[in-house]
């Protein structure tokens, strides 16, 4: 009987740790409900919920918390309707002094300079060109275009690839060729983050 007790404790601890770690891909560090957090991955419950000017680990609900608007306090991108949390504040979107350029990743239309956020055909949302004046639809990635290697407003994300097909929006350039935060950009695909922010006199990777 004395040998069975440590084994039982070991099994219980192992099971608890396994359950904790299974909540997210990254190891969680906060096991207690109510612990202050920044990101969902901090919490073993897998859910970090905003309350006023802080966030706390909570049991994950079936439907996650509604997003908060421009300039509201946030700890992670998920908190913001614009999809961008920077320096503890939600990105203001197209109605303020800056907005996301064509091709940048987005989750809300008013984050885009064009006020148009659509599915890019690759499982992401991206800022698209404004609808054409003749009422025609823009070309998603893979649609034939007539200005290879150049800007092309007939493509939803503003670029006709060198192979004469429209190319994609968000998701970042990847590899060695993408721009880091602050680098000059024309499209979201120029940036490693997939987000090109239009500023008052230029545009830069966000």
Global pTM reads 0.45
pLDDT at 198 over 50: yes
3-state secondary structure the chain: CCCHHHHHHHHHHHHHHHHHHCCCCCCCCECCCCCECCCHHHECCCCEEEECCEEEECCCCCCCCCCECCCCECCCHHHECCCCEECCEECCHHHCCCEECCCCECCCHHHECCCCEEECCCCCEEECCCCCCCCCCCECCCCECCCCCEECCCECCCEECCCCEECCCCCCCCCCCCECCCCECCCHHHECCCCEEECCCCEEEC
pLDDT at 184 over 80: no
pLDDT in tens, 73-129: 899 888 887 777 877 888 765 444 567 888 888 877 777 888 888 887 777 788 888
């Amino acid at each position: 009987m004395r040998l069975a007790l440590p084994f039982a404790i070991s099994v219980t601890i192992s099971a608890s740790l396994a359950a904790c770690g299974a909540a997210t891909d990254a190891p969680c560090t906060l096991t207690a409900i109510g612990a202050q957090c920044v990101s969902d991955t901090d919490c073993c419950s897998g859910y970090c919920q905003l309350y006023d000017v802080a966030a706390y680990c909570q049991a994950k609900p079936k439907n996650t918390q509604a997003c908060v608007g421009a300039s509201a306090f946030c700890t992670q991108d998920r908190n913001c309707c614009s999809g961008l949390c920077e320096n503890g504040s939600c990105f203001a979107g197209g109605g303020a002094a800056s907005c996301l350029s064509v091709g940048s990743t987005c989750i809300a239309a008013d984050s885009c300079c064009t006020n148009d956020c659509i599915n890019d055909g690759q499982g992401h949302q991206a800022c698209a060109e404004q609808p054409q004046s003749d009422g025609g639809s823009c070309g998603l990635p893979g649609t034939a275009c007539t200005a290879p290697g150049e800007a092309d407003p007939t493509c939803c994300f503003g670029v006709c690839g060198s192979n004469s097909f429209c190319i994609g929006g968000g998701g970042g350039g990847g590899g060695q060729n993408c721009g880091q935060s602050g680098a000059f950009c024309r499209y979201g695909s120029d940036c490693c983050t997939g987000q090109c922010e239009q500023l008052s006199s230029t545009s830069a990777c966000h």
